[in-house]
Amino acid sequence: MIGCCILSPVDPTLICLRQMALSADHQGIGAGKALLAFAESQATRQGYRMIEMHARKTAVPFYTGCGDLPRGGEFLELGIAHVLMSKHLGKYKIQ
């Protein structure tokens, strides 16, 4: 397995990305961006307008590089520093 993620609906317009992971052998070569783009395309196809995630602090630069924006300060989740991030999807993207 190269990577995985879970999309969990929150309401009819918002979906949450959870548990995104990528094998160490496939990091830094674009596989994570491809996986995230696929997840976003599936969410958009299903009518969701926004995606959000609890990003590990160490992953914030990755998500920022993919167009996600921080939505607040750091918080602890399972003893690990995270940041709430989100992004408008598809035709609903803010230019």
Nearest in space to 92 (alpha carbons), one of 42, 48, 52: 48
Q: Which domains does the chain have, with CATH numbers?
A: 3-92 (3.40.630.30)
Mean pLDDT in residue range 5-10: 96
- For the chain, the distance separating the N- and C-terminal CA atoms, rounded to the nearest angstrom, is 35
Q: Nearest-CA neighbor of 54 among 33, 77, 31?
A: 77
pLDDT-above-90 percentage for the chain: 86
pLDDT of residue 90: 78
| pLDDT score for 91 | 66
Q: What is the pTM of this model?
A: 0.86
Q: Which structure tokens are listed for 85?
A: 């991030």
CA 87 to chain centre: 8
pLDDT, tens digit (0-9, with 9 covering 90-100), for 38-75 = 999 999 999 999 999 999 999 999 999 999 999 989 99
pLDDT of 4 higher than 80 = yes
Average pLDDT, the chain: 92
Distance CA 14, CA 86 (A): 10
Helix (H/G/I), strand (E/B), else coil: 69: strand
Return d(Cα 23, Cα 77) in angstroms, integer.
Answer: 22
Q: What is the enclosing helix (H) or strand (E) of 5? A: strand 3-9
